[in-house]
Amino acid sequence: MAVKVKIPTPLQRLTNKQSQVEAEGFTVGEVLADLERNFPGFKERLYDEKGELRRFINIFLNEEDVRFLEGLNTTVKDGDEISIIPAVAGGSL
């Protein structure tokens, strides 16, 4: 499945300044792994040492926070849009 991933500006340095990139996978977790393959650095930003998503970074599938779906196991379909939304404190990334 090919989905669009929207990258917040603080992380666009990892995607050669692109605000949106394509990535593939059947689940949100797989899409994020594909993102890491194409643009190394995301894994470190998005996951903690235990391999869990950092809790100050939200992943949305279309309009829904995946925490309230099935997390990284949430399945995606062609044309879906994933948004990475960090807590902005005046800076978090």
Partner 1 sequence: MLTDRDRERYSRQILMDRLGEEGQERLKSSTVGVFGCGGLGTITSLYFAAAGVGRLVLVDSQKPDLSNLNRQVLHWEKDVTEGVSKAESAKYKLSNFNRDIVVEAHTAMVTEDNIEEFFGETDMVVDCLDNFESRLLLNRFCIETGRPMVYAAVHGFYGQLTSIIPGKTPCLRCIFPESPPPEPFFPIIGVTPGVLGLLEATETIKNIVGLPGTLRGELLIVDLLSYEMGKVKTGFDNQCSVCGKWRK
The footprint of partner 1 (CB under 8 A) covers 6, 8-10, 12, 19-20, 54-56, 58, 60, 63-65, 67-68, 83, 85-93
Rounded Cα distance between 67 and 59, Å, is: 8
Q: What is the DSSP letter of 13?
A: G
Of the two residues 23 and 82, which places its CB atom closer to partner 1 in the complex?
Answer: 82
Radius of gyration of the chain (CA): 12
Nearer to partner 1, 26 or 56 (CB): 56
| Minimum distance of partner 1 from residue 93's CB (angstroms) | 7
Q: How far apart are CA 89 and CA 52, in angstroms?
A: 21
